[in-house]
Structure formats: C-alpha cells, structure tokens
A and B are shown apart, each in its own frame.
Chain A
C-alpha cells in the first residue's frame, strides 16, 4: 500500500477502474474527473487487476451512458460509470432495469445538488436521494480514504449480492478535497474481489450458446410476484456488505461497518448522519463529551437497503432525543428521507415492543449546495437538542427568517487541532496559486508522519476569478471537511483582492500575513485599506510583504509568481524548518522542470533564492495610518436588490443572506454585471481617434461589450469632461456629426481581440500600432468613470436610422449582453452580443447548460441586460439535454398568445377601429423600421385599452405585446447540440416552427473542462479522447439542409464578419426553423486567445470550416438555396492544426497516428469541399421545394 495525496474522485476512480472492464461515461461536474482519469489511464495502456485494459466509452448523455452500461452488463462485462446530479437522474430508467434484473454494477457518484430554482454544481444528497427507490444499494463515504475503500467494498458486495450498488460521496467536499490516502495495490484488490466472482457475473450474461429472454413484458397476473421475487437478495445485502467490509479489513486493517456509533455510550442526544458531515460531527462529539456533555453520533454507511437492525442497535437506549440530519430537501414531504427512515425504524420497533423507550425524533437539513457544515453548527444542534422541546424540523447553517426553521449557533466554536497549521491563500484564476498550493500539499503530505489537506474555492467567473485555497498541514490525520477558520497563515497574492474583500476573515491573533505588494516594503502598510490596518493592529498580525511580480520578472519568469509566493509560504510559515522547506521547493522544481532543460531549472531556482532576499517583515504602527476604505462591490446608485443582495454575494458574504433576501422562484433582475466594475486587467483597450476609420470591426468582435460607439451632434459634447475622446463622424450624409468609441476600461479584460480585428496601421507606427491598442489601465480610475458616465448621457442612436446590413452599422446598436465573466477573449460571446444588438429588445432566449449558461446566468451578476425602455432579452435555462424543446415551448406559447391577441383584436374591431386593427394585423415586420412602427401601434393599442374595461380587453391587454414579432433563440454549445440535445435539436428543426438555433461551436465540452463531443475534429486531443479523436466531426449543417425547409448557416466571425451578420439577419427573418453554427475559438483549443480570430480565419481558409448558407427562401424563388460563402481551401489543414495545442498534442505524443489522422482529415476536407461546391452549383430543381414556400 502506498500513501498518496489525491482527491476523492481519484481515490474512487483508482479502485473502480482497476476492478472493471468497461467505463461508460459522460462529463458532469463534480464527477467528471473520475471519468477523465479512467480515459487517461486506459489511453496510457494501464490494465485492471485482471490484466485487461478497460474500455472507456463516452456516450452522448448520461442516459446513453446508462444504456450502454446496461447492455454491457447484460453482455457480462464488469461495467461502471461515474456521474452526479441531473446525470444520475437521466440514468434512473436504466437503474430500475439493472436492479430489476439483479445485475452487478457500481455507479460512483459525486453527490450534487439538483437544478430547481437554480442550478448548482455543488454538493449535497439531492441526486442520490432521487434514486433511493430504484433498487440500487446505496453506500456512502465520508472521506477521501473512504471513497477509495468503499469503491472497492461495493464492487465486492455487488458481485456477491447481485444487487447493483451506487457508491456516493459528497460532491466537491470529498470529490475535490485533497487528502492523504492509502491506495490498495492490485494484489490487494484482486484478493478482495476474486476472479470467480467475475466469472459468475459473466456466466449470467446473455449468450446465443444458451439463449434465454430477459426484459419481457408482464401482465397483471405475474408482475407483482415478480417484483417480490428478489426480496431475498435485498434481505441478504446488509449481511453481504458487512462480510465485504470484514474481508476488506482483513486485507487492509481498515475496519468499517454499516453503521458506526461514536460518542458516549450513555448519550442523551444522538445525531444520525451520513457523508462527510459525519466526520465533522464525530470530532464535535469528542469535543463536547470532553466538556462533560453526553452526546453521540450514528454514522450510516449503507443507506439502501436500510439497515434497520443495525440502526436500532447503534442508537443508545439512553438517547432522549435523536436528530436525523439530511443533506437534501423534499418540499412538501413530512420529513426528509433519512429522517423518515429512522423515524419509521424506531417507531415500528417501539410499537412492536422491541424498543423499551422511544426517543424524540427530529429532522434537520444542512449543507445544501456545499453549504458549510462546521463543528460550530454541530454544537448548535446539540444545544437545541438539550432543550425540553427541540424543534421537530430545523435547518442549520442559514438564517431562515421566513419560516423560522434555522437554528442559531455560536460561530466562534473552534475545534481545530492546535498541532495543525492552517493556511488560506487568495489568488486569481490561472495565476498559479492553486497549482502551487496543490504542489505544497503534495510536498508536505509526502513527508513521513505528516498529513496534508487541500480544498479550493473558486468564484464562478471564467476570467479574473478569485480563488481561495484552504490548506491544513499537521502531524495527525486531518479529518476536517470544512473550510479553514482562524488560519495561522494567510497569503494574499494580488493586491486588488485586499482592496475589495476582507482577507482577514479567517485571521486570528498572531496570524502570519503575506502580501504580494506593488509598493516598496516600507510603504506597503500605508497603502492598505483602513479597516484592514485596524484589524492587523487589533489581532497583532505578523505582516510580511514581497513584490513577487518584480522578483518573478527579474528572474525571467514573466508574470508567473507562483514559485515566488510558494517559496514565501515555506520561508515564513514554519510548516517545515526553513532550510528544509526551501530545499524541498528546489527539489520539486528540479523534478518538475528537469525535462525542460537545465536553464529552466536554474531560472526557477534563482527565483527561489531571489525570493528569500526580497521578502520583508513589515513593521506595524500602533494606529491605522490610512483613511481609505474598501472599494465597494457595487456603486451606491445601483438598484436596491443589487446593493443589498448581489453586493453581499460579491463580497463573499452571501452565506449570511437571510432566506427573505432571496427570490422565491429563482427570478432575478437581469443586467447586473454593469454594477460590478471588476478591473481584472491592468492592460486595456485604448482608442486612437485620429487613426480610427470607424469601421466597427473592433466593437463587433469585442467579447465583453466594452467598446461602444455612438455618433452625435457637436452640441452633445457640451459639458464633456477633459480628455473625453471624440472624432468627426466619417460617414457621408452626416456633416458636423461626431463619433466616439468609448472603452469601458474597468470592464475590459485586455484580451486584445479588438487590436487584432483593427485593419488600420497608422503611418509611422512601424506596423505595430493600430487604431485601437492595449495600454495600461488609465489612472486615476475616476477619470475613466467620468468619461463612461458622460458617454452614457449621449443618446443611443436610433435603430431605425442605422444600416444593419454591415458591420459598420452594428457598432451603433446597443448590446444587451455585456461584461460577462466569460474567458478573456471568448469566442462565443461576440455572437451572443450581436444577437442582442440585432434582436435583443424582442428576444426570448432558451440557453442550454454549459459555458453560455454559466457566464450568462451564474450568480452573483448576470450579463443579459435591457435598454432604456426596459426591454431586453428574456433568458432562461432549463436543462442541458432539453434546450431545443424548451425553446420550442417558448415559441409555441408565443404563437398561442399571438393568435389570442389577433383574435381578440378582431373581436374588438368595432371599439378599436378598422384602421388600427388592420394596420396591426397586416403589418409587415421584417425590417427594423417596420418593427418600430408596429411597436408604436402596439403602444397606441395598449393606451387605448387602458381606457376600456371588459374581459376581452383584459385578455387582449395581457397578450398585446405578442403582436410584435417575437424572436425566439435557442442557444447552446456543441456538447448540447451535437450530443445530449441532438435528438431534440433535430426534432425542433423538423417541427417547422419559427425558432432560431444558435450553436456556439467550440468543438468540445468547454464548461466541464474540454471533453470531446461529436463536434470535436478528427485528431484533436481532448479529455475522453486523450489519444486523439478517432472519428470525424459531424456535419450538422449538411444534416440540417436535408430537411429543405431549415435555414442553415455556418459562420466564423473572425473569417467573415459580414457573412456572420447576414446569416443572423436571414435566420431571424426566416419564418421557419433556423440553425446557425458559429465557430467559437476557445481556451480548450490551446491557443493564444488573442489570436482567436486568426484561428477562425485559418479554420475557414483550410476548409475545416467552410462558410455556407442554405436559405429555403431562395428555393421558393426558384434559385439554388445552397450558398458557399468562403473561397476554395487555400492553406493546408496542417497549417491550421499546428497552431492549436489540441492538435499539436498528438503530434507530440503519437506522431504516427497524428500524421495518419491529419492525412484523413485533409482528405475529408477535400471531399467535403467538392461536395459543397457541387451543391452550390446545382440547379434549384435539384433541391426539394419548400412546402408552402
């Protein structure tokens, strides 16, 4: 056995992979890592303990994964899967089948919340509780070690009992916690799960050699009995699991039971709990009993079949009150599931006389969506139970000021092991802080008799996200599945963080505080915000500072400060003796960088030495010296909800928001990103008014909508602040007009796409400068704010006066999707922004789960906004798999309402007058001018209706807005459109209804970390395709054209923005289904994101992404509807591929296969081009006519 530092996902996957023959997988947070590891291990040729390299198959959805798994099980293969949340729900139908057929398998589940009033990727037991009725046995783990151990135990138990098992552990808290774990060797696993069990499983498989039928349809005469026939198998499960745990103990020395009791044998108060929370309760029980209390906890490992006898035996007879803790919520139920199970067990036993005394039984909810569950909360629960009449139902960890269910507790209770060093680090995404901390945990955890734990908290932004690392190190095993409090060390790796959040939240007296400062050491303290200075003084904090950016830069490490800051931690935290610690850091450097060359090693080692020389202890004065406060998260002018609720989430104090603060149905105000000036980049776009030709290309491609253009009369400049930029408008027909391209510098991420898109190279600039450039964030920021504020006073240009037909015109359209938290330089968001510019005021958007639903809808702030009339895109996310159907539903509802409105309008013709009624009913609504006229008519209608009062009028009034043509958009990524939602997309396109499907095609599951989809090109390396995707990308465009009545376009803004614009407008105008496939460069392609547009160009130029449109309207006019918009491929596919890491990776790891795939890829490109060319030159009569066209 070897002790390693790994997370719960790896712990479970390690055992499960080695005990199975097939992994049928699909990505879903937080379980994806298990599947990714399985794929990587298999692609490296790692065998299971029986000598076979398991097959890993990615399916199109969890439903598909379960189906394939069911088949494989019926075929006799040892098969497993890894999933969570909605993914598990999609497996339910198969779970009934698998259980009904008594088939051995283990599902490993990183338990996660379910999407209800909102989606949450975090941990609780809602998903596993939703499958407790399927017939699967449910076994849970409470720690990283147990995740490994129980994965093995369940495998043995399922093969022995024939009952399928679901092994679960807490999502994120266990799945993502790094901790010490002793891994079983292959020999131990083989000994635990001997091959005769494998063969027995195989013998139950379907085979034509001894055929029988399984999966019959049954009638009232026998179904019921059949359902009861398996009872003995379920009755045997608890015994078999116990035996399996004993067998496991015999091999490993680690003994588990179905139910364990910890605490005073004479306890008067007992908690029942499962999952990681059990660890927290156990340590609290030890603490409370040491204080003289009499409490205990029953930790439940096997939840289904429910081990009634063991539960009854475990609860001491002395218990006066039993509180059953559920990490789930069942609205409307008499109690949560575990509570009901325990209550039934106790009540039944008491009624039957098997129990002398019936304790009071209460039920509590805790920890939904990874809500912290701390010893302080546990102590609060026991305090409640000590009351004469404890609350029968309660929650803990929140403030429920609505139904008053929450318990109060004293948050200062601290049970941390004093021998453990606790450290908290604040970093920004991809600054290397988390990576360095993971490395530190591994370094220290590898030292004998030293234990380490790492847990990492991220915010939900994909650019400039804040990371908080919670680390523990010590001489005793670390069983603390909750965030660090009262840290001995706090590292603040970016100055901007301490200006905004209270980084001393986790401080205690004497905490060592390390700050990465841009100031001289002696000036550092003076620059801290006043509240922080006061706290440093109050707590006697030991302050250290280093200019890590300077040290890193001087050491030739560029902007990578992780080695420097990691060294600081080792140098001053005393986690190890200093010299030993520095030696360890250098040893790791040598190990990590050895193959990159001696000079790279030397560079890093020099950085370590320079760090020690440039790290200073800062003297702290007796009183604060600053008058500067913290930077408020939102301006005082923000709406009330944003100030009261959103701001709290931004500050990281959302846990303290009471229930009453939150909307009851998940409905939130939109357009809140504008209040959060994130200032995440120190370089931002800078406009050169003299050089600019006002073409609008920069604004068109800006992913973050930070470039806004307006034209206006000279007089609008009255009162402009000094330095407000303006230039004469260069369009014909507007003499005397001025033009401004305003940079919203505080929202700019410095991605540089604008610079790349700018066609201007001013003379004398040496070819380096453009008319828009990146420059340091202008100081003072108040100046930027002033300019933006003034710019916003200039009226937005009237839509009816703007020529939408070209890119230049669109820059004057107001974007209603702004400042999202998407990756800097995102390739998707420019398309969404364009959608809102063109149609936002009358658009409804159905958004599939994925990147676009996260940067589009993840709290605290959301980017979908509205115009000055309060109109803007109405946005919703249903699920991942059903988005097309969901969007169709929105269309159907709109059509119903439009029909009602038209009918009521006719009925009210006498009252409203023919002129208005006819004008509204007959109005063309294609062009913007027509739409604005119709909007005026509808407004006039509503004004008339306001003066009338009949049921018909009220009815018309409620649907009158639908007289304006509504634009329904169905948006999502390729994971949705090509895979999980493929059937839905197909069906919706086939429906003939007027919906617009926009696929933001990154050719990979971007949001969950880059897993292959059916859109992933041949030869690209992705997760789940670690050896390069062996099959070609699906041609969805061609598939959709087969319908004949679907408008189809393949666009790439970076290659031809005008074609993109044309496609969006045509798709929307088309009175039927439309599909736009939009090439979206992505961080998962492994490119310099600034060159994203170049890659779009290369994708088109190489023929990988031929631009085309299929317009059924043309067919109706007797023309060829297939338009090939890009030129014949003019660069080899290799030239496009070699610029992207996803393709280069295979060139490096398996050049032969890469060459072969490239050859096949080139061949496919050539063939497809020939096919497209042929289609584009056909006569119209060779395309199907459009019905009704």
Chain B
C-alpha cells in the first residue's frame, strides 16, 4: 500500500505533472486536478483520498474556496496549502479554516513528503479513534 493517497490541485499543468512523478517515486499515490471544481469531482469519485495538496492562487474557484468546500463535504480529509510569498496571509486564513499546514512554493520535496506523511498519519489516527469509539459504543450496547 502507498504511504498516502494524495490529490494534487494546481492550475500549472507542468508543475502538477512533475510533482506526480516525484511523489509517485517516493511511494505515494497521486491524483491530479487542475482547478477547484475538478478537485471536488475527483474527491467524490475517489473515496480513499487522504491528503489534498492545494494551491492557494488559482483562477476560477481559488484555494480558500476549494478548501471550504472540501472541509464541508469531507471533514476528515487533511489539506496542505501551497502558497507563494504574496499569499501567505491566505494560507494562514486557510489554516484557520481547517487546513493541516502550509508550504511555501517552491518547497523542498522531502519536507513536502514528511508533511504529507504526518497529515496522512493524523488522518489515520483520527479514523482509528472514530472506529474505536464506534466499537466501544457497540460493546456497551451489548453489555
């Protein structure tokens, strides 16, 4: 199994393409999306996506809007914001809206991988806790 299943959202096609290659090489499963709407559609199709890497500045539906929609529909999916210097403020805004972390573009690939791993781990822990809670509920019901 891959370290994590990732959705990479950015409007720069060459960027997305190269990133997919590099992340795949590091044992991740990456699905591309080139704008916010596409990202939401992909999330709907691919149920097992754990982490979304999201560019803040995009034409059309921008990063923050996309984040809001993702968190609304899939609260357990972790989102890492990618930002240029000029939009750090939006990244902070994104953190407040529930993003896991943010990274400055261009970022070191290893940092990105470790952040993704952390995010994936957090998500899994989160899910485990939920399962645990559900199980406890079932057990208490039995007794």
A and B associate: no
B residues neighboring A (CB under 8 Å): none
